[in-house]
Amino acid sequence: MTSAIFLDNVSISYGETPITHDISLDIAEGESFALVGESGSGKTTVLRAIAGLAPEWTGTIRLLGEKRGHGVDRASVKACQMVFQDPYGSLHPRKTVDTVLSEPLAIHGIGNRGERVEEMLRAVGLDRRFRFRFPHQMSGGQRQRVAIARALMLEPKVLLLDEPTSALDVSVQAEILNLLKRLKREQKLTYLLVTHNLPVVSFLCDRLAVMRHGRVVEVARVVQLRSGDFSDPYARELYAASGGESVSV
């Protein structure tokens, strides 16, 4: 079976500064895979390279079997989309939801835009009254629903999610996680999800990789999260710090 996301010895740098070292990952189609690890370990950088937003890297990145180049290109944009951590910053303040959701369709020459926008709003649990709202007229959770909708407009197979709930109130986090779980099932998506939150990993993911100082130090199945069965000392530490048990969301 083709991998959805395949990285072989990917080393990413910003200018002269190396950020990640020899990252190798093989994520199957339909799998949900988490990247965890301390702040600054390079998790966001890995997602950015996969999305074509970090131009300086060596190694191989394949998306759905296709080798990707260093920039943003049409085929990879259609295959793979990223949802950013901060729904406040990621939506343009002067664009309506309608504009934000129609844009990718217009760029890719896809018609029936109004209908598709309304259909997607429904899919992310927003009624049609939201279609002509601006970001400041919505709550954080509603904005993140719009950001998720935008990512799904081109019907990608792969979604890169960078701490998609960490900027939200605790009460709203569960709603967004439930939404992501439902969308994954309905649209047969593959997720690569960055999170600090181990309960989120157990709720949504099949496997996880632990990153530290720009390297993957452990890849484990989520069932190991339940037993704390890690070989890497840092991964064990992280598990202990999480309270050593999975919490249902």
Distances (CA, A) of 155 to 50, 51, 230: 17, 15, 36
Among 9, 14, 72, 243, binds ligand ADP (CB under 6 A): 14
Residue 40, binding choice from ligand ADP, Mg ion, none, Cβ under 5 to 8 Å by partner class: ligand ADP
In the bound state with ligand ADP, the residue whose beta carbon lies nearer, of 44 and 165, is 44
Among 1, 16, 39, 93, binds ligand ADP (CB under 6 A): 39
How many of the chain's residues bind ligand ADP (CB under 6 A)? 10
Among 32, 45, 195, 202, binds ligand ADP (CB under 6 A): 45
In the bound state with ligand ADP, the residue whose beta carbon lies nearer, of 207 and 212, is 212
By CB under 6 A, residue 85 contacts ligand ADP: no
Helix axes 97-107, 113-123, angle to 10 degrees: 120
- Strand bridging mode 23-28 / 3-14: antiparallel
CA angle 88, 93, 95 (to 5 degrees): 125
By CB under 5 A, residue 41 contacts Mg ion: no
Residue 202, binding choice from ligand ADP, Mg ion, none, Cβ under 5 to 8 Å by partner class: none
How many of the chain's residues bind Mg ion (CB under 5 A)? 1
Contact pattern from residue 43 through residue 72 relative to Mg ion, giving x for each residue in contact according to CB under 5 A and a dash for the rest: -x----------------------------
Give the closest residue to 189 by CA, choosing from 54, 107, 82.
82
Q: What does the alpha-carbon distance between residue 40 and residue 13 come to, in Å, rounded to a whole number?
A: 13
Among 7, 43, 160, 203, binds ligand ADP (CB under 6 A): 43
Among 4, 5, 7, 19, binds ligand ADP (CB under 6 A): 19
Q: What does the alpha-carbon distance between residue 161 and residue 163 come to, in Å, rounded to a whole number?
A: 6
Among 7, 10, 23, 44, binds ligand ADP (CB under 6 A): 44
By CB under 6 A, residue 42 contacts ligand ADP: yes
Cβ neighbours of 144 (radius 10 Å): 30
Q: Which residue is nearest to Mg ion (CB)?
A: 44
User: What secondary structure does DSSP assign to 154-187, as a single string?
Assistant: T--SEEEEESTTTTS-HHHHHHHHHHHHHHHHHH
Give the closest residue to 192 by CA, choosing from 67, 45, 54, 69.
45
Binding region for Mg ion (CB under 5 A) = 44
